[in-house]
Every structure is written in C-alpha cells, then in structure tokens.
Structure 1
Amino acid sequence: MALANKFERASATARKFTLEYLEQITNNFSEEHVIGRGAYGVVYKGVLENGEVIALKKLCWRPDTNDTEFSTEFNNLMRVQHPNITRLVGYCYHQGHELIEHKGEYIFPHVEERVLCFEYLKGGSLDKKISDESCGLDWHTRFKIINGVSLGLHYLHNGSKDSIYHLDLKPANILLDKNMVPKIGDFGLSRLFPSAQTIITNKNIGTRGYMPPEYIDKGEITSKHDVFSLGVIIIPIMAGDEGYFKSAHMSSQEFLELVHENWRKRLQATMLSHTSDQIETCIKIALRCVEVDRNKRPTIAEIVNELNKVGTREEFT
C-alpha cells in the first residue's frame, strides 16, 4: 500500500490514468497496438482524448512480481525534464483481484497492473537506425544523435544534487523523435546516487556488451559505467554494426584512420574541415570511453565540452 500512496502523491506533471481508460485507448491492450517488447513488459501505442499519441509500457505481472523496476523508473523520471530524455506523460497503478483458474480451482489472487505512459516518438529506437557508415543516416544526423545522447547523460549525472546513473544505456533505449532528436529512455535499472562514489553490487543487471569490465568482474558502479556504454554506442554510429569488433582488433590510430577515411570517401567534396574535426573528435571520445581502466575514461562533462567545441565551430575554409 505504501507504494500506491506514493503514486497518489505524485507531481501533477504526470497524469494519473485509470486502467479502464488505458484499456479503452489500446483496445484492451490488443496485439495490434503493440509497438515493442522487452524483458519487463510490452509497449503499446494509444491516443489520448486530446489527440496526443503516447507509448504505454505495461509491466508483466507475475505472482512473484515486485515493484522495484516500476518504482525506480517512475521516481527517476519524475526527477528529470530534459529535451534529450523521454518525457513521462502519466501512469497507472491499479490494484485488485482477478478470477483465474489454478490447478482445477477458481481463485481470486491479488493482482497489480502497472503502466508508465510516455511521449510517442515517431523515429523509433536507435538500434533500428544504425548501419554501415557507407549508407543510412547522414553525418549531420549522426553527430546530432551523439551530441544529444551526451547532453541527456550529462543532465542525469550532473543536473541535480543527486546523480542518476542509467546503467542500461544502449541503442534500443535511445528513442528518436520525428526530427531525429535522441531521447534516453527505459530507466527501469537506473539508480540514484547522492554523491560521486563507487558502489559495489553482487548482482549484474543490464545488457552484456554495454557493461564495463569493472562492473562485470567486481560489481563496481561509478559514473564511468554509463560513459563506457556511451562509447559502445558511439562506435557503431560512427562505423556501422561491425565497428566495435573492428576497433577491438586495431590500434586506436588505425581505427581512427579507417573510420575517417571511410567518411571522407562517402562525403567526398562535401566534407568540410569542421566535419572532419567532428568525425575525429567523436572517434577519439568513443575510444577513450571504452578504456578498460575507468580512470582513463573521460567524464560526461568533459565529453560535452569537447563536442561543444567542434559542434559550434563555423566553417570558413
């Protein structure tokens, strides 16, 4: 009940929906409204009475379900408002009893339906957009995505007194609006840390491939966890799906030269000098982000500062 009371006191910035209303706008959460699936639930598309299209994340219910992920995501999203973070529109926390058949008997177990409602983003998730550098997104769009994700992460780490570490940053959790502006989403595994410190956990959560080695080997969590994940994201944005594999089998200089040359070939005469600087800066940032030694990785503030330098530079040559 304590958690239900917490949601009752939620800020007016998040609208409280009834389960009946959400069932109505999704045709009882029908398959035709499904737009995504994940380990913790199913995402549906619905339209509010004012015409706003929303995405509804309905968490799976099981008898052993607890509220940790729902509560964590809700509370952390209530703390953040930023152009590069998915906007929470509302929520539903429904408690009741449901008639089900169990071992030949009809029972009325206590069930909880939990739904988080977000702005609907037409561009879909970043993992559907990443492709070889020779095709797909143009360089301007890729740089905008890298910069936007970095700004969103910077806000999470430094935007308030307490830092929020995402801990599951990956292309599938980065959504794009109709103008290809990236927004970080899925805060189910995120954690709030009151100070910059190292936390030790004995449980690995997240997505393999985006976890830093100190977390896999020793369960250590710091702000450099998200920075490592950011580097793993930037590399395929720069060099396609095979980029991370290539980078692991080359020296940093060889990889930089390869990616830079591939972009030079693609852009040819349209590759201005500030574009060349942006490409080189992004490659160098990504490679530093995935350093095994976390002390060699940049902070997100340093990354944003470096991107600002090349992102705002005027082209005179």
Structure 2
Amino acid sequence: MEDDLHDASVMPRDLTFHFLQHITKKFSNDRIIGHGGYGVVYKGVLDNGREIAVKKLYPKHPEIDDDKQFKNECINLMRVQHQNVVRLLGYCHEISHKIWPYDGKYVLAEVEERALCFEFLPGASLDKHLSDESSGLGWHARYKIIKGISEGLHYLHNGSKDPIYHLDLKPANILLDKSMMAKIGDFGLSRLVDSTKTITTKDIRGTPGYMPPEYIDRYKITAKFDVFSLGVIIIQIMAGREGYSRCGDMSSQEFINLVHHDWLKTRLTTMSSRTTHEVKICIKIALRCVEADRVKRPTIAEIIDELNKIDTVNRSLIDQVTYSRSKQEFD
C-alpha cells in the first residue's frame, strides 16, 4: 500500500485513521508543518522512509457546514492530475463511538475523524518566500513560479468539460517542490461549475485581499475570480507582500515603472535586457488581472498565451546563441 501512495497511476486510497496516527506519531506537535483554515498539516513518514503531508481537519463546528470543505477538496482533487496541482494521495473519514467521562458520569460519544493526504513538498508554501525586499528569489525562480501557478489554473479552468474554480488562491495555498515548481493546493472552497453560468452565492468565504470586487459587492462568482487572485499573487511575487496595496496608490504606468526601476536597481549586474522585458510583461499581465471590471480581465487561456510568447522568444534566442557558438567552433 505504501508504494501505491506514490504511484501516480493509482487512485487516491481510502486510509484508516490508525494508519495516519502511526505515520504522524499520533499527530505529535513536532510533526506539524502548517495550519490551514480547516485543519492542521502534519508530516507523515511511511515505513519505507517516504514522506507525505497529512491534513487533519478540525472537529466539526455546529454552525459551519465544514463537511462541504472536506467533500470539495477530496472530490475535486480526485478529478485532477497535473504537475502544477498538489496530488491527493489518500483520504480518511471514520466515525467511531467511545465512552468518555462527562459531568460525573460516563457517556457514549460519537467521534468523527477526517483527514486528507497529499504529496509532501519540501519547498513549503509561497508565502514563506515572499518579502518586501527585492533580495531573495531571483527572477528566473519567480517567473517559474508565476508560470507554474498559471499553468495549474489553466488546467483547472480548461482541462476538462466541467471547470473547477479554486476560489482561494493565495501564497499560503501555493506549495513549492524542491526545484521550486509551484503547485496549487487547498481546494476546500473550490467549486465544480457549469462554465456557461455565473454563480451567485449567499455568503462571503475566502481571504480578504484576494477576492474580486464583484464577489465582495454582489456575491458573483465567475472564472475571473481566480484570475483576480492570480493577479494579486503575481504582484506580490514581483513587488513584495505590500505590492498590491502600493499599486492602488498610483497609475498602472507609474507602478510598472516603479517595479521595473526597483528590479534594475537591485539586479543591474545580472539582469539582461531580455529579463527586464519579461519583468514588464508580467507586471502588465498582473495589473490587467486586478481590473475592478471583470470584463477587462484576461482569461487564464489568454494569460498562458502571453507567457508562452515569452518562452518562444527565449527559446529562439537560445537557439541563436547555440547556433552562433557551434558555427564559431566549426569555423
């Protein structure tokens, strides 16, 4: 079974709570690697030494339908398999009855345990890598993360007949592997939708700062919800944690010039003219994504087209350099 957990061709497994206790040392505090809105994430170590992430959901809240979050994340992730989406390895939903002391008596109480198991990603979440300083991740790593998130979102929106809207994209829900490849995680608020419809919800659930105005003001959900969140994330990747609030105080062109100037100032000795062009393109994409009018925002497919043009230009330049060097060696 342990080998099956890491086999991409095998469907996520139904796991026992006893097994999860075993691999997490009974969910000990020293195995905690993160906290989410709906549970605590632990590192699980299998008997063969491989590692997985185990998200143990919080006990049910009487006023919140948190079973919906569990079902959303489990069922929606069952449908997806993409290098930029965190892979679901298994799940656990067990109900047992135990005798507990209560008010001087013993009572039979129902105990419900819910957990989800994912591939373990040693790079932690993106929010751990963001800062307000221009130092830290270089442009190549940042661009790779931007492209990876965009590819994952493109797959969710267009990879099957029924799109999946994530609805809670933020740096804490973007996980990184050892090579800094970005993977979208935490699908607790995600929805499988009919792409022809605009959804109207009854309440606001999500993370302030990443929700578009039409959702906050009119409870409207479309594919442009995730695009808005992506724009905020790209701005933070390029201009630090406070980047989005800074861009609200100036025109688009002023912000583009500011971020471009910051990158030139700190990376002058290492940034090529091609890189500065890439920086400008990504800032422009991000600013279009956070337009207040959702109609003006690009689709994720249009964003991928623009990023692919950057890659095409880069491949062409690399081919030219390779050809030039080969020609010099031949001559």
TM-score bracket, normalised by the shorter chain, equals: over 0.9
Deviations 1:209-267 (A, max 9, x none): 10000000000000000000001101110111221121000100000001011111222
SS at match of 2:175: strand
Q: Which amino acid aligns with 1:142?
A: R
SS at match of 1:298: coil
User: How far, CA to CA, are the matches of 1:189 and 1:66 in structure 2?
Assistant: 10
After alignment, is 151-160 or 64-73 more displaced? 64-73
Aligned residues of 1:133 and 1:262 also touching (Cα < 8 A): no
Q: Which runs of 5+ in 2 are unaligned?
A: 1-8, 322-331
Task: Report the counterpart of residue 253 of structure 2 in structure 1.
Answer: 253
The Cα of 1:281 is off from its aligned counterpart by 0.8
After alignment, is 118-127 or 269-278 more displaced? 269-278
Deviations 1:125-159 (A, max 9, x none): 00010123520100000000000000000000000
Q: Which amino acid aligns with 2:16?
A: T
Task: Report the counterpart of residue 82 of structure 1 in structure 2.
Answer: 82
Task: Report the counterpart of residue 50 of structure 1 in structure 2.
Answer: 48
Alignment size in residue pairs:
307
The Cα of 1:77 is off from its aligned counterpart by 0.3
The Cα of 1:49 is off from its aligned counterpart by 2.5
SS at match of 1:180: coil
Q: Which amino acid aligns with 2:231?
A: G
Deviations 1:184-215 (A, max 9, x none): 00000000002232100111111011000000
Q: How does 1:138-153 map onto structure 2 within 5 Å?
A: 138-153=138-153
Task: Report the counterpart of residue 279 of structure 1 in structure 2.
Answer: 279
SS at match of 2:21: helix
Q: How does 1:1-317 map onto structure 2 within 5 Å?
A: 12-62=10-60, 64=62, 66-314=66-314, 315=317
Q: Which amino acid aligns with 2:197?
A: Q
The Cα of 1:39 is off from its aligned counterpart by 2.3
The Cα of 1:102 is off from its aligned counterpart by 3.5
User: How far, CA to CA, are the matches of 1:134 and 1:205 in structure 2?
Assistant: 32
Aligned residues of 1:277 and 1:310 also touching (Cα < 8 A): no
The Cα of 1:63 is off from its aligned counterpart by 6.1
In structure 2, relative to structure 1, the CA distance for the partners of 1:63 and 1:233 (3 Å cut) is closer
User: How far, CA to CA, are the matches of 1:221 and 1:151 in structure 2?
Assistant: 21
SS at match of 2:52: strand
User: How far, CA to CA, are the matches of 1:170 and 1:180 in structure 2?
Assistant: 16
User: How far, CA to CA, are the matches of 1:101 and 1:203 in structure 2?
Assistant: 38
User: How far, CA to CA, are the matches of 2:294 and 2:105 in structure 1?
Assistant: 56
Q: What fraction of aligned residue pairs are identical, expressed as a percent?
A: 61
The Cα of 1:269 is off from its aligned counterpart by 3.4
Where has structure 1 moved over 6 Å in runs of 4 or more? Answer: none
User: How far, CA to CA, are the matches of 1:63 and 1:283 in structure 2?
Assistant: 41
In structure 2, relative to structure 1, the CA distance for the partners of 1:224 and 1:248 (3 Å cut) is same
The Cα of 1:12 is off from its aligned counterpart by 4.5
The normalised TM-score by structure 2 is 0.89
Q: Which amino acid aligns with 1:44?
A: Y
User: How far, CA to CA, are the matches of 1:63 and 1:224 in structure 2?
Assistant: 31
The Cα of 1:21 is off from its aligned counterpart by 1.1
Q: Which runs of 5+ in 1 are unaligned?
A: 1-10
For the pair shown, the structure with the greater C-alpha radius of gyration is 2
The Cα of 1:101 is off from its aligned counterpart by 3.4
User: How far, CA to CA, are the matches of 1:264 and 1:193 in structure 2?
Assistant: 43
Aligned residues of 1:285 and 1:303 also touching (Cα < 8 A): yes
Task: Report the counterpart of residue 8 of structure 1 in structure 2.
Answer: none
SS at match of 2:134: coil
